[in-house]
């Protein structure tokens, strides 16, 4: 079983090392391709027609100068171009939860999304900041991954992946909450202003808004939240709407 692990916090991130340790309990064929620095909120963006620098940092580990999703593309098109491709892609463990609008912004989930384009089952892992780490956490996470792999026929349908948020303490029970709303990028701070030129920053942080049944509520109550996501997300228009538009254009 070949496992590819990527993240958006960078190749030196502690969460990446923990996920590798967990995966090593499942397979001795684990590979890492991760950004050479932190790439928070990179989403699923790709670097096209510009050079990417891939650097081998240790056996089976490579840093990438691009985005989190670039790590998947570079693995598929370069690292495994003439070799067996991964059976499973894991991303994370992200330093902080990925909930609500993060489903669109998150580099961690952008990795999993990209993996589905290559037909590979994928799981994105995130955990609350400053969790209560315990020695048994990695083993517990490895057992969870093993269970999910064994049951992949139930969730790894085309174009879908899993987003899993870990609470402060493990072990924990699983819950499937609804997707909430907890907007990041809610305000701008002016750094400097000089005539026509203004420099702003969008600070980190969020309200941790929660409503009954959403991910933040489940995570804060000590549960592991698990959601199956998909990339197509189509909501079809009513045929009557299309007919009305057509009549308006013909009149």
Binding residues for a divalent metal cation: 8-9, 94
Q: How far is CA 27 from CA 3, 31, 86, 91, 123, in A?
A: 8, 10, 12, 16, 16
Separation CA 251–CA 247 (nearest Å): 6
Residue ranges for the known binding site are: 8-9, 94
Angle at 153 between CA 147 and CA 154, to 5 degrees: 80
| Contact status, residue 16 vs residue 43, Cβ threshold 8 Å | no
Q: How far is CA 75 from CA 31, 161, 165, 191, in A?
A: 9, 18, 25, 39
Phi-psi region of 213 (alpha: psi -120 to 50; beta: other; left: phi over 0): left
- DSSP letter for 78, please: I
Residues 3-40: b if buried by 16+ CB within 10 A, e if exposed: bbbbbbbbbebebbbbbbebbeebbeebbbbbbbeebb
Residues 228-242: b if buried by 16+ CB within 10 A, e if exposed: ebeeeeeeeeeeeee
């Amino acid at each position: 079983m070949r496992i590819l692990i990527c993240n958006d916090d960078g190749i030196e991130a502690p969460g990446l090392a923990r996920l590798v340790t967990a995966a090593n309990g499942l397979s001795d064929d684990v590979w890492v391709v991760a950004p050479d620095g932190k790439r928070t909120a990179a989403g699923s963006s790709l670097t096209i027609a510009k050079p990417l620098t891939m650097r081998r940092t240790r056996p089976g580990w490579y840093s990438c100068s691009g985005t989190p999703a670039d790590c998947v593309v570079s693995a598929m098109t370069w690292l495994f171009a003439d070799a067996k491709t991964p059976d499973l892609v894991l991303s994370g463990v992200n330093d902080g939860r990925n909930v609500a609008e993060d489903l669109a912004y998150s580099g961690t989930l952008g990795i999993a999304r990209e993996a589905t384009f290559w037909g590979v089952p994928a799981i994105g892992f995130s955990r609350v900041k400053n969790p209560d780490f315990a020695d048994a956490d990695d083993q517990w996470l490895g057992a969870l991954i093993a269970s999910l792999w064994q049951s992949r026929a139930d969730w790894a349908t085309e174009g879908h992946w899993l987003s899993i948020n870990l609470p402060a303490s493990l072990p924990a029970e699983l819950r499937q909450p609804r997707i909430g709303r907890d907007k990041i990028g809610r305000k701008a701070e002016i750094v400097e202003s000089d005539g026509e030129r203004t420099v702003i920053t969008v600070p980190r942080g969020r309200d941790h808004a929660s409503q009954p049944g959403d991910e933040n509520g489940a995570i804060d109550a000590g549960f592991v939240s698990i959601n199956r996501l998909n990339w197509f997300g189509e909501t079809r228009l009513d045929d009557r709407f299309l007919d009305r538009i057509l009549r308006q254009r013909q009149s």
